[in-house]
Amino acid sequence: MKYRYPSLLALIGFLCGSLAATAQGSFTVGTATANPGQKASGFIEVPAGVDAPTAIPVSVVRGAKPGPVLALVSGAHGTEYASIIAVERLIQALDPAQVAGTVILVPLVNIQSFEQKVPHVNPVDGKSMNRFYPGKPDGTQTERASWLITKQVVERCDYLIDYHGGDLDENLRSYSYWPKTGNAKQDATTHDMVLAFGLDHIIVWSDRPKDPNASRYLDNTANTRGKPAIAVEAGYSGTVQPEDVQALVSGTLSVMRYLKMLPGPATMVEHPVWFGKIDTVASEQPGIFYPLVQRGTYVEPGMKIGYVTDYFGTTIYEAHAPAAGVVLYICGVPSMKKGDTVANIGEITTNP
Ligand SMILES: [Zn+2]
């Protein structure tokens, strides 16, 4: 008898849980609680620790019909503006009456970066907010925020999209990442998700960390927990081009159709360009950078893609393409330190 109560309670709990899942009860993330057919907004409160507290905005769109939970997260880099504006636009655009399932939208993870116009890192602790997942509850602000996003967003979702773009100094051509994990079922789903998203340049990323406790990146945090996730990039150099925002918004809606969260068929990329290897060209000298090619330019091996002068105009370094490929992004500003990225070049593969 002594052991029957716990198992009976567990059974009742399980039944209630299943019932709640089919009936779509309310769904809470941070301070945002939405009932079926509702949209709610609030904050994921990151308490003070070794440094200051922060509050990350979050919206929950609880569909009128049951379905999966999709998380949309942007602004880990707070000056990749097009991606932030796109998720903000989705918060306004999504109609809970039309949605099957639930969408968690986090439009701006790194508020301090956004407000202070600091690229790449969280100015509070100097850390990239897409390198410290799954985070830890007693770390610096980036680690505490990453921990709460892991617990409240990643662990609660079934699918995830992480939005990025060219940062203030990155002249970037839009592309997405297909994370190839080795898990055939999951890889098939993420393969379809990147095709449904609609960006026709796709990086095959197969060497990501496999350890969920050292997942580093947000999309990889979801993938190592068995939740299909992709990352997408559009926008460049601090601009908010309507076509970049539109590509991210319509790509998201197409993925939602693929996941049967919205009615209608997804629009799949018909002729994707896959990249099997990325070459990073780094400057060997500090100075003033002059690009010679645009984002999206196709380059041949050895082609001069830019150069660096000293502060008196003498050329001290020439950057050359190490292989044939597409310039996915090239430094968009004259500032150049030794070791900084001049360009990322994607090598095309026909066998992704
Ligand atoms: Zn980014």
Q: Using one digit for the tens of pLDDT, what is the confidence trace for 314-328? A: 999 999 999 999 999
| pLDDT value at residue 23 | 56
pLDDT, averaged across the chain: 94
| pLDDT value at residue 232 | 98
Specify the pTM.
0.93
Judged by DSSP in three states, 331 sits in strand
Residue 278: pLDDT band (50, 70, 90) is very high
Ligand 1 centroid–CA 72 distance in Å is: 14
Any alpha helices (H) in 67-130, and if so which ranges? 81-93, 111-116
Residue 24: pLDDT band (50, 70, 90) is confident
- Please write the tens of the pLDDT for every residue from 214-249: 999 999 999 999 999 999 999 999 999 999 999 999
Judged by DSSP in three states, 243 sits in helix
Ligand 1 centroid–CA 198 distance in Å is: 19
- Please write the tens of the pLDDT for every residue from 133-155: 999 999 999 999 999 999 999 99
Q: In this model, does residue 20 exceed pLDDT 50?
A: no
**Residues above pLDDT 70, as percent of the chain:** 93
Positions of E strands within the chain? 27-29, 32-34, 38-46, 54-62, 65-74, 100-106, 159-164, 170-172, 175-179, 201-205, 229-233, 273-282, 287-291, 298-299, 304-309, 315-320, 325-331, 335-336, 341-349
Ion ligand 1 neighbours, Cβ < 5 Å: 77, 80, 164
Ligand 1 centroid–CA 77 distance in Å is: 5
Q: In this model, does residue 5 exceed pLDDT 80?
A: no
Ligand 1 centroid–CA 28 distance in Å is: 27
Ligand 1 centroid–CA 314 distance in Å is: 33
Q: In this model, does residue 13 exceed pLDDT 50?
A: no
Ligand 1 centroid–CA 281 distance in Å is: 18
